Amino acid sequence: MAKTKNGSVKANKIVVCIDSPKEKLNKKLSQKIYHALTFLAISEKLTDKQIKSIFPEKKLMCWDSRLVYSYFKITKDKRVLLGGSSELVIYWPKQIKTKIFANNNINRFKSNFPALKNVKFVAYWPGFIHISKDIMPVVDFNTGKGVYYVLGNPGLPWAAFLGTYAAKTALNNTQESKYYKYIAANRKFFISDKTQSIIGKIPSFAINNLHTEYS
């Protein structure tokens, strides 16, 4: 924000926080973001004893370390909110409404918490999250135009960091160098944008995500 001579305030910087930009907004940035298909499921209400079997000390938001990771938390009304996907459909171009993949996540979750084996999950739904080729977000700006982009947020913990980071860099008109090299739009990927234009977006993201996980 900046003050004009008459004392009014005008905006001279814009922070754009979106999952994935369309080509007409920014073609180069749109090449760096693709979606991952994921499934959410929510359980019936749990007893305090059942919640203790998951979180003996305090409630947390958790996720595992698999490439196609699962994540879960306890809602305010004492239900398990469970998310995850499958290697078979994570890069599928459209949402899939079948319950098979949600059930796979539920069964894997119950195998880790046997005390919940009889808990029913009462609803599920598919949706997209957006990621980059190395699963890190993209945060960058158009030099001279005052526009900052926050793209491909891979999870809630990242969302908290990215909001603070984008605000600081916009206000200070600079990038924090210790983070910038990891989230800059022009960082190098195992599969380059040029190679991606030849083999396509889905193979590029699948190969690059695997390389990120196992390299």
* CATH number for the domain harbouring residue 112: 3.30.9.10
Residue-level pLDDT at 3: 45
- Tally Cβ neighbours within 10 Å of residue 154: 17
Residues 76 and 152 in one domain: no
Last residue of a domain, one of 65, 98, 132: 132
Report the C-alpha gap between 107 and 82 in whole angstroms. Answer: 11
Last residue of some domain: 86, 113, 132? 132
Question: Do 53 and 125 belong to one domain?
Answer: yes
71 contact partners, CB below 8 Å, separation of at least 6: 61, 62, 63, 64, 82, 83, 84, 155
The answer to whether residues 73 and 90 belong to one domain is yes
Name the 3-class secondary structure at 33.
strand
Of the candidates 70, 83, 71, the one whose C-alpha atom is nearest the C-alpha of residue 42 is 83
CA distances from 130 to 3, 33, 48, 90, 98 (A): 36, 6, 35, 11, 21
pLDDT in tens, the chain (215 residues): 444 455 544 556 777 777 777 877 778 888 899 999 999 999 999 999 999 999 999 998 888 877 788 889 999 999 999 999 988 899 998 999 888 999 999 999 999 999 999 999 999 999 998 899 998 999 887 655 677 888 888 877 788 788 888 888 877 766 666 888 889 988 999 999 999 999 999 999 999 999 988 88
Judge contact between 52 and 184, C-beta under 8 A: no
Residues 106, 152: one domain? no
> 3-class DSSP state for residue 14?
strand
Tell me the pTM. Answer: 0.75
